[in-house]
Chain A
Amino acid sequence: MYDCYLTVRSVTWGQKGRDVLDRAGLRCRLLRAPREIAPGGCAYALSLPQRDGIRAEAVLDRAGVPVAGSWIRRPDGSYVRLER
Protein backbone atom coordinates (compact mmCIF):
# COMPACT_ATOMS: atom_id res chain seq x y z
CA MET A 1 0.00 0.00 0.00
CA TYR A 2 1.49 3.33 -1.11
CA ASP A 3 0.50 5.27 1.99
CA CYS A 4 3.66 7.26 2.61
CA TYR A 5 4.02 10.60 0.78
CA LEU A 6 7.27 12.52 0.46
CA THR A 7 6.54 15.95 -0.95
CA VAL A 8 8.99 17.70 -3.25
CA ARG A 9 8.99 21.28 -4.49
CA SER A 10 8.75 20.66 -8.21
CA VAL A 11 8.04 18.01 -10.79
CA THR A 12 11.73 17.92 -11.80
CA TRP A 13 12.82 17.16 -8.26
CA GLY A 14 10.09 14.54 -8.09
CA GLN A 15 11.35 12.91 -11.28
CA LYS A 16 14.93 12.99 -10.08
CA GLY A 17 13.82 11.58 -6.72
CA ARG A 18 11.94 8.79 -8.46
CA ASP A 19 15.10 7.89 -10.42
CA VAL A 20 17.20 7.93 -7.27
CA LEU A 21 14.76 5.67 -5.41
CA ASP A 22 14.49 3.37 -8.39
CA ARG A 23 18.26 2.94 -8.47
CA ALA A 24 18.14 2.12 -4.75
CA GLY A 25 15.54 -0.57 -5.41
CA LEU A 26 12.70 1.42 -3.84
CA ARG A 27 9.52 1.52 -5.89
CA CYS A 28 7.50 4.70 -5.80
CA ARG A 29 4.94 6.69 -7.75
CA LEU A 30 5.24 10.32 -8.66
CA LEU A 31 1.95 12.18 -8.38
CA ARG A 32 0.54 15.61 -7.77
CA ALA A 33 0.40 16.10 -4.05
CA PRO A 34 -3.10 16.13 -2.52
CA ARG A 35 -4.08 19.60 -1.30
CA GLU A 36 -3.89 18.54 2.36
CA ILE A 37 -0.14 17.95 2.13
CA ALA A 38 0.69 20.85 -0.17
CA PRO A 39 -0.13 23.96 1.86
CA GLY A 40 1.95 26.12 -0.50
CA GLY A 41 -0.16 24.99 -3.45
CA CYS A 42 0.87 22.86 -6.42
CA ALA A 43 3.47 20.34 -5.32
CA TYR A 44 4.41 16.81 -6.22
CA ALA A 45 4.84 13.80 -4.00
CA LEU A 46 6.64 10.50 -4.16
CA SER A 47 4.29 7.88 -2.86
CA LEU A 48 5.61 4.59 -1.51
CA PRO A 49 4.88 1.94 1.11
CA GLN A 50 5.22 3.19 4.67
CA ARG A 51 7.83 0.54 5.46
CA ASP A 52 10.18 2.14 2.91
CA GLY A 53 9.62 5.73 4.03
CA ILE A 54 12.57 6.23 6.36
CA ARG A 55 15.00 4.52 4.01
CA ALA A 56 13.68 6.50 1.06
CA GLU A 57 14.18 9.79 2.88
CA ALA A 58 17.75 8.81 3.70
CA VAL A 59 18.45 7.82 0.09
CA LEU A 60 17.00 11.10 -1.19
CA ASP A 61 18.96 13.09 1.37
CA ARG A 62 22.22 11.44 0.32
CA ALA A 63 21.42 12.23 -3.33
CA GLY A 64 20.71 15.88 -2.50
CA VAL A 65 17.01 15.68 -3.34
CA PRO A 66 15.23 17.95 -0.86
CA VAL A 67 12.08 16.53 0.73
CA ALA A 68 9.66 19.24 1.81
CA GLY A 69 7.56 17.01 4.05
CA SER A 70 6.84 13.41 5.00
CA TRP A 71 3.25 12.33 5.38
CA ILE A 72 1.27 9.19 6.12
CA ARG A 73 -2.20 8.67 4.73
CA ARG A 74 -4.47 7.17 7.39
CA PRO A 75 -7.14 4.60 6.49
CA ASP A 76 -9.79 7.32 6.91
CA GLY A 77 -8.13 9.37 4.15
CA SER A 78 -6.63 12.03 6.39
CA TYR A 79 -2.91 12.79 6.44
CA VAL A 80 -0.51 13.09 9.35
CA ARG A 81 2.83 14.81 9.02
CA LEU A 82 5.82 12.96 10.32
CA GLU A 83 8.46 14.92 12.23
CA ARG A 84 11.88 13.39 11.66
Chain B
Amino acid sequence: MIYLDNAATTLRKPPQVSAAVLEALRSCANPGRGGHAAAARAEETVYRTRKLASEFFGLEPEQICFTANATEGLNIALRTLVRPGDRVVLSGLEHNAVTRTLTGLGAKLVPVTAPIFDADRWAEAFAAALSAGASCCVCLHASNVFGALLPVDQIGALCAERRIPFVVDASQSAGLLPVTPERWQAAFTAMPGHKGLLGPQGTGILLCREQPLPLRFGGTGSLSMDQKMPRELPDCLEAGTLNVPGIAGLGAALGWLRLQNRAELLKREKKLLHAVLRLRALGAELWTGPDQIGVLSFRLPNRDPEETAARYARAGVALRAGLHCAPLAHRTGGTLPEGTVRLSLSVLTEPKEIERFLSVTKSLLK
Protein backbone atom coordinates (compact mmCIF):
# COMPACT_ATOMS: atom_id res chain seq x y z
CA MET B 1 0.00 0.00 0.00
CA ILE B 2 1.10 3.54 -0.76
CA TYR B 3 0.21 5.29 2.49
CA LEU B 4 -0.40 9.01 2.06
CA ASP B 5 -2.80 9.63 4.94
CA ASN B 6 -0.22 10.71 7.49
CA ALA B 7 -2.27 13.68 8.68
CA ALA B 8 -4.67 11.12 10.17
CA THR B 9 -1.87 9.07 11.68
CA THR B 10 1.57 8.03 10.58
CA LEU B 11 1.48 4.33 9.81
CA ARG B 12 5.17 3.78 9.25
CA LYS B 13 7.19 4.32 12.42
CA PRO B 14 10.84 3.87 13.31
CA PRO B 15 11.31 0.21 14.36
CA GLN B 16 12.31 1.30 17.86
CA VAL B 17 8.71 2.36 18.51
CA SER B 18 7.07 -1.05 18.35
CA ALA B 19 10.03 -2.58 20.20
CA ALA B 20 9.56 -0.10 23.04
CA VAL B 21 5.80 -0.77 23.18
CA LEU B 22 6.41 -4.49 23.40
CA GLU B 23 9.10 -4.10 26.03
CA ALA B 24 6.79 -1.94 28.16
CA LEU B 25 3.97 -4.46 27.82
CA ARG B 26 6.30 -7.15 29.05
CA SER B 27 8.02 -5.31 31.85
CA CYS B 28 6.15 -2.24 33.09
CA ALA B 29 3.56 -2.21 35.87
CA ASN B 30 1.60 0.84 36.99
CA PRO B 31 3.73 3.95 37.51
CA GLY B 32 3.35 5.72 40.83
CA ARG B 33 1.39 2.83 42.29
CA GLY B 34 3.98 0.67 43.96
CA GLY B 35 7.50 0.46 45.28
CA HIS B 36 8.39 -2.71 43.38
CA ALA B 37 10.73 -3.05 40.44
CA ALA B 38 8.04 -3.28 37.75
CA ALA B 39 6.36 -0.09 38.98
CA ALA B 40 9.74 1.65 39.17
CA ARG B 41 10.48 0.56 35.61
CA ALA B 42 7.19 2.05 34.47
CA GLU B 43 7.96 5.29 36.33
CA GLU B 44 11.33 5.54 34.66
CA THR B 45 9.86 4.76 31.24
CA VAL B 46 7.25 7.50 31.61
CA TYR B 47 9.76 10.00 32.97
CA ARG B 48 12.23 9.31 30.17
CA THR B 49 9.57 10.23 27.62
CA ARG B 50 8.50 13.23 29.65
CA LYS B 51 12.06 14.47 29.82
CA LEU B 52 12.69 13.92 26.11
CA ALA B 53 9.52 15.85 25.33
CA SER B 54 10.52 18.65 27.69
CA GLU B 55 13.83 19.00 25.85
CA PHE B 56 12.07 18.80 22.50
CA PHE B 57 9.63 21.60 23.34
CA GLY B 58 11.79 23.73 25.64
CA LEU B 59 9.78 23.29 28.83
CA GLU B 60 10.23 21.63 32.21
CA PRO B 61 9.34 17.91 32.58
CA GLU B 62 6.32 18.63 34.79
CA GLN B 63 4.86 20.88 32.07
CA ILE B 64 4.57 17.84 29.79
CA CYS B 65 1.19 16.19 30.43
CA PHE B 66 0.31 12.96 28.72
CA THR B 67 -3.10 12.76 27.10
CA ALA B 68 -4.85 10.20 24.92
CA ASN B 69 -4.69 12.46 21.86
CA ALA B 70 -4.68 16.13 20.83
CA THR B 71 -8.45 16.33 21.28
CA GLU B 72 -8.16 15.55 24.98
CA GLY B 73 -5.47 18.18 25.35
CA LEU B 74 -7.61 20.78 23.61
CA ASN B 75 -10.57 19.83 25.80
CA ILE B 76 -8.46 20.39 28.92
CA ALA B 77 -7.16 23.74 27.65
CA LEU B 78 -10.54 25.08 26.56
CA ARG B 79 -12.41 23.81 29.60
CA THR B 80 -9.83 25.59 31.74
CA LEU B 81 -10.12 28.91 29.95
CA VAL B 82 -13.65 29.21 28.57
CA ARG B 83 -16.99 29.74 30.31
CA PRO B 84 -20.50 29.88 28.77
CA GLY B 85 -21.00 33.05 26.75
CA ASP B 86 -17.28 33.82 26.47
CA ARG B 87 -16.07 35.35 23.22
CA VAL B 88 -13.41 33.08 21.73
CA VAL B 89 -11.39 34.11 18.67
CA LEU B 90 -10.24 31.21 16.52
CA SER B 91 -8.88 30.65 13.07
CA GLY B 92 -11.34 29.70 10.37
CA LEU B 93 -9.31 26.55 9.81
CA GLU B 94 -9.93 24.86 13.16
CA HIS B 95 -10.79 21.21 13.60
CA ASN B 96 -13.92 19.91 15.31
CA ALA B 97 -11.70 19.15 18.31
CA VAL B 98 -11.80 22.90 18.90
CA THR B 99 -15.15 23.96 17.48
CA ARG B 100 -17.24 21.18 19.02
CA THR B 101 -15.57 21.68 22.39
CA LEU B 102 -16.24 25.42 22.29
CA THR B 103 -19.82 24.84 21.16
CA GLY B 104 -20.30 22.36 23.98
CA LEU B 105 -18.98 24.95 26.42
CA GLY B 106 -21.52 27.50 25.20
CA ALA B 107 -18.85 29.90 23.96
CA LYS B 108 -19.42 32.58 21.35
CA LEU B 109 -17.17 31.49 18.47
CA VAL B 110 -15.56 34.25 16.43
CA PRO B 111 -13.83 32.59 13.47
CA VAL B 112 -11.17 34.68 11.74
CA THR B 113 -10.81 34.26 8.00
CA ALA B 114 -8.13 35.22 5.50
CA PRO B 115 -6.74 33.88 2.23
CA ILE B 116 -5.59 30.43 3.28
CA PHE B 117 -1.91 30.76 2.42
CA ASP B 118 -1.37 34.43 3.28
CA ALA B 119 0.25 34.58 6.72
CA ASP B 120 0.29 38.39 6.81
CA ARG B 121 -3.44 38.58 6.17
CA TRP B 122 -4.06 36.02 8.90
CA ALA B 123 -2.09 38.11 11.37
CA GLU B 124 -4.01 41.25 10.37
CA ALA B 125 -7.34 39.45 10.69
CA PHE B 126 -6.46 38.14 14.14
CA ALA B 127 -5.34 41.63 15.23
CA ALA B 128 -8.70 43.04 14.19
CA ALA B 129 -10.72 40.31 15.89
CA LEU B 130 -8.68 40.41 19.10
CA SER B 131 -8.97 44.18 19.38
CA ALA B 132 -12.62 43.69 20.39
CA GLY B 133 -11.42 41.51 23.28
CA ALA B 134 -11.72 37.79 23.90
CA SER B 135 -11.60 35.33 26.75
CA CYS B 136 -9.37 33.06 24.76
CA CYS B 137 -7.78 32.70 21.33
CA VAL B 138 -7.25 29.37 19.58
CA CYS B 139 -5.18 28.77 16.48
CA LEU B 140 -3.69 25.77 14.79
CA HIS B 141 -0.07 25.83 13.72
CA ALA B 142 -0.77 24.03 10.44
CA SER B 143 -4.10 23.19 8.82
CA ASN B 144 -5.07 19.53 8.69
CA VAL B 145 -7.01 20.22 5.49
CA PHE B 146 -4.81 22.56 3.47
CA GLY B 147 -1.40 22.28 5.14
CA ALA B 148 -1.26 26.06 5.47
CA LEU B 149 1.01 27.40 8.19
CA LEU B 150 -0.46 30.10 10.37
CA PRO B 151 1.68 32.81 11.99
CA VAL B 152 1.27 31.56 15.56
CA ASP B 153 4.23 33.57 16.82
CA GLN B 154 2.59 36.81 15.68
CA ILE B 155 -0.82 35.77 16.94
CA GLY B 156 0.73 34.81 20.28
CA ALA B 157 2.31 38.26 20.54
CA LEU B 158 -1.05 39.90 19.78
CA CYS B 159 -2.66 37.82 22.54
CA ALA B 160 0.10 38.60 25.01
CA GLU B 161 -0.29 42.35 24.39
CA ARG B 162 -3.98 42.03 25.19
CA ARG B 163 -3.54 39.49 28.03
CA ILE B 164 -5.68 36.98 26.19
CA PRO B 165 -4.76 33.33 26.85
CA PHE B 166 -3.56 31.62 23.70
CA VAL B 167 -4.10 27.96 22.82
CA VAL B 168 -2.23 26.32 19.94
CA ASP B 169 -3.21 23.11 18.18
CA ALA B 170 0.08 21.69 16.91
CA SER B 171 -1.46 18.45 15.67
CA GLN B 172 -0.03 18.65 12.17
CA SER B 173 3.28 20.34 12.90
CA ALA B 174 4.74 18.65 15.98
CA GLY B 175 7.70 16.52 15.03
CA LEU B 176 8.29 18.31 11.77
CA LEU B 177 8.43 22.00 12.66
CA PRO B 178 9.73 23.64 15.83
CA VAL B 179 6.93 23.81 18.39
CA THR B 180 7.91 26.63 20.73
CA PRO B 181 5.27 27.44 23.34
CA GLU B 182 7.58 29.89 25.14
CA ARG B 183 8.12 31.91 21.97
CA TRP B 184 4.46 31.70 21.05
CA GLN B 185 3.52 32.72 24.60
CA ALA B 186 0.93 29.97 24.47
CA ALA B 187 -0.87 29.03 27.67
CA PHE B 188 -1.46 25.54 26.28
CA THR B 189 -0.21 23.66 23.23
CA ALA B 190 -1.86 20.37 22.31
CA MET B 191 -0.64 17.64 19.97
CA PRO B 192 -1.09 13.97 19.23
CA GLY B 193 1.79 11.58 19.77
CA HIS B 194 0.91 9.43 16.76
CA LYS B 195 1.26 11.81 13.81
CA GLY B 196 4.48 13.73 13.13
CA LEU B 197 5.91 12.64 16.47
CA LEU B 198 5.72 9.05 15.12
CA GLY B 199 4.51 7.48 18.37
CA PRO B 200 1.67 5.01 18.85
CA GLN B 201 -2.02 5.88 18.62
CA GLY B 202 -3.62 6.65 21.97
CA THR B 203 -0.87 9.07 22.91
CA GLY B 204 -0.85 12.84 23.05
CA ILE B 205 0.87 15.67 24.85
CA LEU B 206 -0.45 18.87 26.35
CA LEU B 207 2.24 21.47 26.98
CA CYS B 208 1.15 23.57 29.95
CA ARG B 209 2.49 27.05 30.65
CA GLU B 210 -0.54 27.85 32.79
CA GLN B 211 -2.31 25.97 35.54
CA PRO B 212 -4.96 23.70 33.96
CA LEU B 213 -8.16 22.33 35.44
CA PRO B 214 -8.42 18.56 35.47
CA LEU B 215 -10.67 16.86 32.96
CA ARG B 216 -10.50 13.51 34.74
CA PHE B 217 -10.64 12.93 38.46
CA GLY B 218 -9.22 9.96 40.31
CA GLY B 219 -6.10 8.31 41.60
CA THR B 220 -2.71 9.81 40.85
CA GLY B 221 -0.53 7.77 43.18
CA SER B 222 0.06 10.91 45.22
CA LEU B 223 -1.55 12.60 48.25
CA SER B 224 -4.18 9.90 48.40
CA MET B 225 -5.90 11.11 51.57
CA ASP B 226 -6.84 14.39 49.94
CA GLN B 227 -10.14 14.13 48.10
CA LYS B 228 -9.35 17.13 45.92
CA MET B 229 -7.22 16.57 42.85
CA PRO B 230 -3.59 17.65 43.35
CA ARG B 231 -2.82 21.03 41.80
CA GLU B 232 0.68 19.97 40.83
CA LEU B 233 1.50 19.32 37.22
CA PRO B 234 1.47 16.76 35.74
CA ASP B 235 -0.55 14.83 38.36
CA CYS B 236 -3.55 17.15 38.13
CA LEU B 237 -4.12 15.99 34.52
CA GLU B 238 -3.02 12.38 34.77
CA ALA B 239 -5.59 10.64 36.97
CA GLY B 240 -5.94 6.93 36.35
CA THR B 241 -3.53 4.48 34.81
CA LEU B 242 -1.39 5.97 32.07
CA ASN B 243 -0.90 4.41 28.66
CA VAL B 244 2.59 3.25 29.58
CA PRO B 245 3.22 1.12 26.46
CA GLY B 246 2.10 4.03 24.28
CA ILE B 247 4.24 6.49 26.21
CA ALA B 248 7.20 4.12 25.92
CA GLY B 249 6.70 4.03 22.15
CA LEU B 250 6.38 7.80 22.03
CA GLY B 251 9.64 8.08 23.94
CA ALA B 252 11.37 5.83 21.41
CA ALA B 253 9.98 7.97 18.59
CA LEU B 254 11.18 11.18 20.24
CA GLY B 255 14.59 9.58 20.73
CA TRP B 256 14.67 8.74 17.02
CA LEU B 257 13.56 12.24 15.99
CA ARG B 258 16.19 13.80 18.23
CA LEU B 259 18.90 12.05 16.24
CA GLN B 260 17.61 13.30 12.89
CA ASN B 261 18.59 16.49 11.14
CA ARG B 262 15.16 18.11 11.30
CA ALA B 263 16.03 20.82 8.79
CA GLU B 264 16.90 18.05 6.33
CA LEU B 265 13.65 16.23 7.09
CA LEU B 266 11.71 19.41 6.37
CA LYS B 267 13.65 20.01 3.18
CA ARG B 268 12.96 16.42 2.13
CA GLU B 269 9.25 16.80 2.77
CA LYS B 270 9.13 20.04 0.77
CA LYS B 271 10.83 18.25 -2.10
CA LEU B 272 8.26 15.46 -1.95
CA LEU B 273 5.44 18.01 -1.87
CA HIS B 274 6.96 19.74 -4.88
CA ALA B 275 6.86 16.39 -6.72
CA VAL B 276 3.21 15.90 -5.72
CA LEU B 277 2.35 19.28 -7.24
CA ARG B 278 2.85 17.70 -10.67
CA LEU B 279 -0.79 16.74 -10.10
CA ARG B 280 -1.69 20.15 -11.47
CA ALA B 281 -0.24 19.29 -14.86
CA LEU B 282 -2.49 16.22 -14.86
CA GLY B 283 -5.55 18.46 -14.53
CA ALA B 284 -6.17 18.30 -10.78
CA GLU B 285 -7.40 21.30 -8.83
CA LEU B 286 -4.96 22.01 -5.99
CA TRP B 287 -5.00 24.16 -2.87
CA THR B 288 -1.40 25.19 -2.39
CA GLY B 289 0.73 28.11 -1.31
CA PRO B 290 4.15 29.23 -0.18
CA ASP B 291 3.93 28.33 3.53
CA GLN B 292 2.70 24.78 3.41
CA ILE B 293 3.62 21.54 5.13
CA GLY B 294 3.17 18.18 3.41
CA VAL B 295 -0.61 18.24 3.49
CA LEU B 296 -2.37 18.90 0.20
CA SER B 297 -6.05 19.17 -0.68
CA PHE B 298 -6.98 18.43 -4.26
CA ARG B 299 -9.81 17.30 -6.52
CA LEU B 300 -9.74 15.47 -9.80
CA PRO B 301 -11.85 17.04 -12.56
CA ASN B 302 -15.54 16.10 -12.45
CA ARG B 303 -14.98 13.57 -9.67
CA ASP B 304 -16.50 13.54 -6.21
CA PRO B 305 -13.74 13.44 -3.55
CA GLU B 306 -15.16 10.35 -1.81
CA GLU B 307 -15.40 8.51 -5.10
CA THR B 308 -11.87 9.62 -5.99
CA ALA B 309 -10.42 8.38 -2.70
CA ALA B 310 -12.29 5.08 -3.08
CA ARG B 311 -10.76 4.60 -6.50
CA TYR B 312 -7.29 5.38 -5.17
CA ALA B 313 -7.89 2.88 -2.35
CA ARG B 314 -8.77 0.19 -4.86
CA ALA B 315 -5.49 0.97 -6.62
CA GLY B 316 -3.58 0.61 -3.34
CA VAL B 317 -3.18 4.29 -2.43
CA ALA B 318 -4.43 5.47 0.98
CA LEU B 319 -5.78 9.03 0.98
CA ARG B 320 -8.59 10.71 2.90
CA ALA B 321 -11.60 12.40 1.37
CA GLY B 322 -14.43 14.53 2.68
CA LEU B 323 -14.37 17.17 5.39
CA HIS B 324 -11.50 15.84 7.52
CA CYS B 325 -13.41 16.66 10.73
CA ALA B 326 -12.93 20.32 9.88
CA PRO B 327 -16.09 21.75 8.27
CA LEU B 328 -15.08 25.24 9.37
CA ALA B 329 -11.86 24.94 7.36
CA HIS B 330 -13.79 23.83 4.31
CA ARG B 331 -16.19 26.74 4.73
CA THR B 332 -13.20 29.10 4.86
CA GLY B 333 -11.61 27.42 1.88
CA GLY B 334 -14.84 27.42 -0.13
CA THR B 335 -14.73 23.62 -0.49
CA LEU B 336 -18.11 22.75 1.07
CA PRO B 337 -20.15 20.65 0.79
CA GLU B 338 -18.16 17.85 -0.78
CA GLY B 339 -14.77 18.71 0.68
CA THR B 340 -11.55 17.60 -0.95
CA VAL B 341 -9.21 14.68 -1.27
CA ARG B 342 -6.29 15.07 1.08
CA LEU B 343 -2.81 13.71 0.55
CA SER B 344 -0.46 13.93 3.51
CA LEU B 345 3.22 13.06 3.80
CA SER B 346 5.44 11.99 6.63
CA VAL B 347 9.17 12.16 7.14
CA LEU B 348 9.24 8.46 6.25
CA THR B 349 7.40 8.80 2.92
CA GLU B 350 9.56 7.58 0.05
CA PRO B 351 9.91 9.39 -3.32
CA LYS B 352 8.94 6.17 -5.10
CA GLU B 353 5.59 6.27 -3.31
CA ILE B 354 4.92 9.71 -4.83
CA GLU B 355 5.84 8.41 -8.26
CA ARG B 356 3.45 5.49 -7.80
CA PHE B 357 0.71 7.87 -6.65
CA LEU B 358 1.19 10.03 -9.75
CA SER B 359 1.14 6.98 -11.95
CA VAL B 360 -2.13 5.79 -10.36
CA THR B 361 -3.55 9.29 -10.85
CA LYS B 362 -2.75 9.18 -14.55
CA SER B 363 -4.51 5.84 -14.86
CA LEU B 364 -7.56 7.14 -12.97
CA LEU B 365 -7.83 10.08 -15.34
CA LYS B 366 -7.75 7.95 -18.49
Contacting residues, chain A, for B44 (C-beta < 8 A): 15
| Stretch of B216-224, B273-281, B327-335 on the interface side | B216-224
Which parts of B49-95 form the interface with A (CB within 8 Å)? Answer: 50-51, 60-62
Q: Name the distance in Å between B36's Cβ and chain A's nearest Cβ.
A: 10
Q: Are B35 and A40 in contact (CB under 8 A)?
A: no
> Which of chain B's residues has its CB closest to A39's CB?
B225
Q: Which residues of A contact B223 (CB under 8 A)?
A: 9, 40-43
The CB with the most chain B CB atoms within 10 A, among A19, A31, A32, A39, is that of: A32
Residues A13 and B224 in contact in the complex (CB < 8 Å), given A31-B35, A32-B35: no
Most buried by B among A16, A31, A39: A16
Does B31 sit at the interface, judged by CB under 8 A?
A: yes
30 contacts between A and B (CB under 8 A): A9-B222, A9-B223, A9-B230, A9-B232, A9-B235, A10-B32, A10-B221, A10-B222, A10-B235, A11-B31, A12-B47, A12-B50, A12-B62, A12-B234, A15-B44, A15-B47, A15-B61, A16-B61, A39-B225, A40-B223, A40-B224, A40-B225, A40-B226, A41-B224, A41-B225, A41-B226, A42-B32, A42-B223, A43-B222, A43-B223
Q: Interface residues of A, CB < 8 Å — how many? A: 17
Number of A-B residue pairs having CB atoms within 8 Å of each other in the complex = 56
Q: Is B43 an interface residue (CB 8 A)?
A: yes
Q: Are B222 and A16 in contact (CB under 8 A)?
A: no
A12 contacts B226, CB within 8 Å? no
Q: Report the count of interface residues on B (CB-CB < 8 A).
A: 23
Enumerate chain A interface residues (CB-CB to B < 8 A): 9-13, 15-16, 19, 31-32, 39-44, 64
Q: Which residues of B contact A64 (CB under 8 A)?
A: 60
Known: A10-B221, A13-B62, A39-B225. 13 other contacts (CB 8 A): A9-B223, A9-B232, A10-B220, A11-B43, A11-B221, A12-B61, A15-B43, A15-B44, A16-B60, A19-B51, A32-B34, A40-B224, A43-B223
Q: 1/0 per position for B12-38, CB-CB distance to A under 8 A? A: 000000000000000000011011000
